């Protein structure tokens, strides 16, 4: 059973082998050196007949293919350069693929070079390091091991120098190995090896001296008048060698580096002078050397040095500005000159000589010695003068220059039609040449009247650079001739550039209901401010569209019209100039509900109304109060006494004449419950009804419900008294009880009211008032009736 199963497996697997592997291409995974030839075989066990080949799906010419016997066919590939390719073998009749293989190529290392050199910190002797480098084109990211192998005339067998996995390798301490010596031919090969292939570079042959890199030279730099002197020493003094000196200005803008070559014979010291250097300027210098045919050493350490001043480099450019003569005919001359740069070493002495009347041969020398500050001020009279400036360096005259100061009113040529324009901070000046021949022109310019710049030119136009921006400049053009100066022609207040607009500020907004008056201002305009063309006032409600009004540049106020009452508006002002615009900040304002012009009359009217209403209200209140408080005491319960005079009364108001007409529209009427006659001692009823009613006098005249009670007429002022009385009215003991001075009332029967007190002469003068309650009559009525 088991054997049967095994047999079955064997039969099946054999069948598989036969169906699959009856054809194939060999070898598999071919690695070729670029440009080499190869032959690939296609074989079939069972299939016989012709085959054809494809390389990367392209059919190869039949001629490349060669039939070996019935089962084997070979294809030859010559000078194969593809990095990677797929080669397939097909049946000729069915085009069925019988097998295939991949072919990859590799190249050998090239450009091998080696250098024999020193360690960084060494000081000579035999160089310790041997470094080789090479190039290698790769199309695969396979790890490659490189080995540098060498042989020499001493040791012809290959010896390994160094190995690495990158394109360079260094053999340290080569001087100890003895394999590479200073003399004789050597050669070197680089082997590149991966797991699939191995390739050797072409051998590289060298003489040790030609690959020897010497140490960088030691440089010594000296600044001499007008030039620099570079001196250096190398470790190769005993052999012929070449050196290069490179130098440049420190901080030079352009790559103005220059190189000087110098070949040194054996035992000649390195030394070179660097001419063509600028005065008082820092230079950097370094040097490198190489043995003949050998690589350059590294550059020596850079040395820096400032050059000395050369007399011919000194350009004093003496110039002067002359003021108008004062009352005494004295003019001030400001002499100015280009100073010697502060980088120049040494002491410089300046002296100014003033020579007057040179035409008349009279030379008066005023000598001022100073230590070089420009401008320098001298006073001269109205005559012509010549200023001479001399500079001494270490007591030797270095340079001198002179300038002419014309006499007042001297007729001299001058330029005409000075025209200026400015653009982006540069002022361009042009002028017309004078009729006389001139040798040139001096242009001077200032932005503050103290600091001047000046420049000489031969042409009739000039561009002034490096100006302070947004400043007015005064520019003067003076012709020069025969060592003299002509008269200057000025162009005043030329702005180097135009500043932006000043800021705009909204000063006030006075809003009415449908309009608003707005005032704004701009920051003070400067000389070089942009010229304002107009303003645009923008305004809008929160939701509404933005509206605008253009305002003439001379005005700074506007009335915004057609606004909606009781609405918030925002507004800002834009100043418009040719060069740009300036904005104010945004301000908000609310329009009024009503026209404020209507408000004043309305207010006045309202106030009048309020006053009237208040007056009426007050009157009513007083009357009401009076009604409430006025309680006429019952004279029937009181004894009659002499009333104290008004001046003795406290808190009591004098009675007015009874006949006094009522001041109020409201006539109070007081009523009290009738008290029983039989009980004359009855107190004032605390709960006594006292009603106040606003009654027409006419109504008052009408008969009351109580026919017995006569009408009362009260004076307003008596309310004070009645208040006093009422406050005590609730108490069982009325103050009237304690009245001591008793007099019998004068009775006059039948009269509804009567005089209670006899008139004194004082009382005759002061009108008297009488108060009466209805009860009094009730009580007396009884008495009278009795």
Ligand X SMILES: *[C@@H]1O[C@H](CO)[C@@H](O)[C@H](O)[C@H]1NC(C)=O
Instruction: Name which position in 13, 81, 145, 436 contacts ligand X (CB under 6 A).
Output: 145
Is residue 548 part of the contact set for ligand X (CB under 6 A)? yes
Question: If 0-12 CB within 10 Å is exposed, 13-18 middle and 19+ buried, where does residue 690 land?
Answer: buried
Whether 26 contacts 41, CB under 8 Å: yes
Is residue 72 part of the contact set for ligand X (CB under 6 A)? yes
Instruction: Name which position in 168, 381, 402, 446 contacts ligand X (CB under 6 A).
Output: 446
Kindly indicate which of the ranges 63-71, 312-320, 340-348, 746-754 contains the residues binding ligand X, using the contact rule CB under 6 A: 63-71
Report d(CA 505, CA 523) in Å as an integer: 8
Which residues have C-beta within 8 Å of that of residue 567, sequence separation ≥ 6? 541, 590, 591
Query: Between 194 and 357, whose beta carbon lies closer to ligand X?
Result: 194
Report d(CA 630, CA 35) in Å as an integer: 143
Instruction: Name which position in 195, 437, 451, 523 contacts ligand X (CB under 6 A).
Output: 195
Q: How many other C-beta atoms are found inside a 10 Å radius of the C-beta of residue 136?
A: 18
Query: Between 165 and 687, whose beta carbon lies closer to ligand X?
Result: 165
Is residue 616 part of the contact set for ligand X (CB under 6 A)? no
Measured from the CB of residue 441, what is the shortest distance to ligand X in angstroms? Answer: 9
> For residue 38, what is the enclosing H or E element?
strand 36-44
Query: Between 354 and 399, whose beta carbon lies closer to ligand X?
Result: 399
Instruction: Name which position in 181, 194, 351, 460 contacts ligand X (CB under 6 A).
Output: 194
Measured from the CB of residue 91, what is the shortest distance to ligand X in angstroms? Answer: 18
Instruction: Name which position in 261, 373, 659, 786 contacts ligand X (CB under 6 A).
Output: 261
Query: Between 194 and 734, whose beta carbon lies closer to ligand X?
Result: 194
Q: How many other C-beta atoms are found inside a 10 Å radius of the C-beta of residue 54?
A: 16
Torsion of CA 586, 588, 591, 597, to 10 degrees: -80
Question: If 0-12 CB within 10 Å is exposed, 13-18 middle and 19+ buried, where does residue 621 land?
Answer: exposed
Question: If 0-12 CB within 10 Å is exposed, 13-18 middle and 19+ buried, where does residue 319 land?
Answer: buried
Report d(CA 362, CA 356) in Å as an integer: 7
Is residue 138 part of the contact set for ligand X (CB under 6 A)? no
Is residue 662 part of the contact set for ligand X (CB under 6 A)? no
Kindly indicate which of the ranges 192-200, 389-397, 417-425, 728-736 contains the residues binding ligand X, using the contact rule CB under 6 A: 192-200
Binding mask 559-598 for ligand X (x = CB under 6 A): ----------------------------------------
Give the pair of three-digit tokens for residue 719.
Answer: 């309310």
Kindly indicate which of the ranges 66-74, 213-221, 386-394, 707-715 contains the residues binding ligand X, using the contact rule CB under 6 A: 66-74
Is residue 474 part of the contact set for ligand X (CB under 6 A)? yes
Q: Is 639 helix (H, G, I), strand (E, B) or coil?
A: coil
Report d(CA 190, CA 204) in Å as an integer: 9
Query: Cα dist. 65→55, 90, 475, 548, 683 in Å?
Result: 12, 12, 94, 92, 161
Measured from the CB of residue 239, what is the shortest distance to ligand X in angstroms? Answer: 17
Query: Between 492 and 665, whose beta carbon lies closer to ligand X?
Result: 492
Q: Which of residues 486-545 bind ligand X (CB under 6 A)?
A: 492, 536
Is residue 420 part of the contact set for ligand X (CB under 6 A)? no
Query: Between 291 and 774, whose beta carbon lies closer to ligand X?
Result: 291
Q: What is the DSSP letter of 226?
A: T
Kindly indicate which of the ranges 201-209, 246-254, 314-322, 455-463 contains the residues binding ligand X, using the contact rule CB under 6 A: 455-463
Measured from the CB of residue 41, what is the shortest distance to ligand X in angstroms? Answer: 7
Instruction: Name which position in 193, 227, 249, 514 contacts ligand X (CB under 6 A).
Output: 193
φ, ψ dihedrals at 708, nearest 5°: -75, -25
Q: Pairing relation of β-strands 416-423 and 426-432?
A: antiparallel
Q: Is 607 helix (H, G, I), strand (E, B) or coil?
A: helix
Instruction: Name which position in 202, 432, 448, 595 contacts ligand X (CB under 6 A).
Output: 448
Whether 530 contacts 577, CB under 8 Å: yes
Instruction: Name which position in 8, 15, 17, 68 contacts ligand X (CB under 6 A).
Output: 68
Report d(CA 102, CA 647) in Å as an integer: 146
Query: Between 545 and 648, whose beta carbon lies closer to ligand X?
Result: 545
Measured from the CB of residue 535, what is the shortest distance to ligand X in angstroms? Answer: 10
Query: Between 348 and 520, whose beta carbon lies closer to ligand X?
Result: 520
Contact positions toward ligand X, by CB under 6 A? 68-72, 145, 193-195, 259, 261, 439-440, 446-449, 456-458, 472, 474, 492, 536, 548
């Amino acid at each position: 059973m088991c054997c049967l199963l095994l047999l079955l497996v064997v039969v099946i697997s054999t069948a598989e082998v036969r169906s699959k592997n009856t054809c194939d291409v060999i070898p598999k995974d071919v690695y070729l050196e670029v440009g080499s030839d190869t032959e690939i075989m296609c074989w079939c066990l069972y299939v016989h007949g012709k085959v054809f080949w494809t390389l990367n799906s392209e059919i190869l010419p039949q001629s490349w293919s060669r039939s070996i016997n019935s089962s084997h066919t070979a294809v030859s590939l010559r000078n194969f350069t593809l990095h990677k390719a797929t080669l397939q073998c097909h049946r000729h009749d069915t085009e069925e693929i019988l097998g295939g293989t991949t072919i990859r190529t590799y190249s050998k290392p090239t450009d091998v070079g080696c250098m024999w050199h020193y360690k960084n910190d060494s000081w000579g002797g035999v160089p310790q390091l041997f470094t080789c480098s090479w190039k290698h084109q790769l199309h695969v990211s396979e790890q490659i091991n490189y080995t540098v192998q060498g042989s020499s005339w001493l040791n012809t067998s290959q010896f390994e120098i160094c190995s690495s996995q990158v394109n360079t390798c260094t053999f340290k301490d080569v001087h100890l190995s003895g394999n590479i010596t200073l003399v004789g031919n050597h050669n070197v090969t680089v082997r590149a090896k991966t797991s699939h292939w191995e390739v050797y570079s072409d051998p590289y042959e060298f003489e040790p001296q030609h690959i020897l890199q010497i140490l960088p030279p030691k440089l010594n730099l000296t600044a001499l008048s007008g030039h620099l002197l570079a001196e250096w020493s190398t470790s190769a003094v005993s052999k012929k060698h070449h050196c290069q000196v490179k130098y440049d200005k420190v901080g030079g803008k352009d790559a103005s580096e220059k190189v000087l070559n110098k070949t040194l014979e054996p035992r000649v010291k390195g030394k070179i002078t660097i001419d063509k250097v600028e005065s008082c300027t820092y230079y950097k210098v370094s040097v490198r050397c190489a043995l003949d045919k050998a690589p350059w050493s590294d550059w020596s350490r850079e040395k820096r040095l400032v050059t000395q001043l050369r007399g011919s480099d000194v350009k004093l450019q003496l110039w002067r500005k002359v003021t108008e003569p004062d009352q005494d005919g004295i003019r001030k001359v400001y002499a100015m000159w280009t100073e010697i740069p502060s980088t120049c070493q040494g002491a410089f002495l300046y002296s100014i000589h003033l020579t007057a009347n040179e035409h008349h041969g009279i030379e008066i020398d005023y000598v001022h010695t100073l230590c070089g500050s420009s401008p320098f001020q001298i006073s001269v009279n109205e005559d012509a003068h010549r200023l001479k400036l001399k500079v001494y360096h270490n007591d030797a005259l270095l340079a001198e220059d002179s300038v002419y100061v014309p006499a007042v009113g001297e007729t001299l040529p001058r330029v005409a039609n000075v025209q200026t324009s400015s653009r982006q901070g540069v002022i361009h000046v042009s002028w017309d040449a004078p009729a006389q021949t001139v040798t040139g022109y001096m242009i001077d310019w200032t932005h503050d009247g103290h600091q001047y710049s000046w420049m000489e030119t031969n042409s009739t136009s000039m561009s002034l650079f490096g100006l302070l921006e947004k400043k007015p400049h005064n520019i003067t053009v003076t012709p020069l001739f025969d060592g003299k100066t002509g008269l200057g022609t000025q162009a005043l207040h030329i702005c180097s550039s135009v500043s932006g607009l000043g800021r705009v500020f909204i000063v006030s907004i006075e809003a009415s209901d449908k309009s608003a008056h707005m005032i704004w201002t701009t920051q003070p305009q400067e000389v070089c401010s942009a010229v304002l063309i107009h303003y645009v006032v923008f305004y809008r409600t929160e939701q509404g569209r933005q509206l605008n009004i253009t305002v003439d540049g001379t005005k700074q106020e506007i009335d915004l019209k057609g606004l909606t009452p009781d609405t918030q508006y925002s507004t800002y002002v834009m100043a418009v100039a040719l060069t740009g615009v300036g904005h104010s900040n945004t301000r908000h304002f609310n329009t009024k509900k009503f026209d404020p012009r209507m408000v004043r009359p309305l207010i006045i009217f309202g106030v009048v109304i309020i006053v009237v209403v208040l007056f009426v209200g007050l009157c009513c209140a007083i009357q009401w109060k009076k009604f409430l408080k006025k309680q006429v005491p019952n004279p029937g319960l009181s004894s009659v006494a002499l009333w104290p005079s008004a001046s003795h009364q406290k808190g009591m108001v004098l009675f007015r004449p009874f006949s006094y007409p009522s001041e109020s529209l409201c006539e109070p009427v007081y009523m009290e419950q009738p008290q029983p006659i039989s009980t004359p001692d009855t107190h004032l009823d605390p709960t006594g009804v006292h009603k106040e009613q606003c009654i027409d006098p006419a109504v008052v005249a009408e008969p009351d419900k109580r026919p017995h009670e006569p009408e009362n007429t009260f004076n307003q002022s008596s309310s004070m008294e009645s208040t006093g009385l009422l406050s005590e009215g609730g108490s069982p003991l009325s103050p009237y009880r304690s009245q001591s001075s008793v007099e019998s009332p004068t009775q006059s029967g039948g009269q509804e009211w009567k005089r209670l007190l006899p008139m004194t002469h004082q009382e005759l003068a002061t009108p008297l008032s009488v108060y009466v309650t209805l009860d009094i009559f009730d009580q007396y009525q009884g008495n009278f009736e009795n």
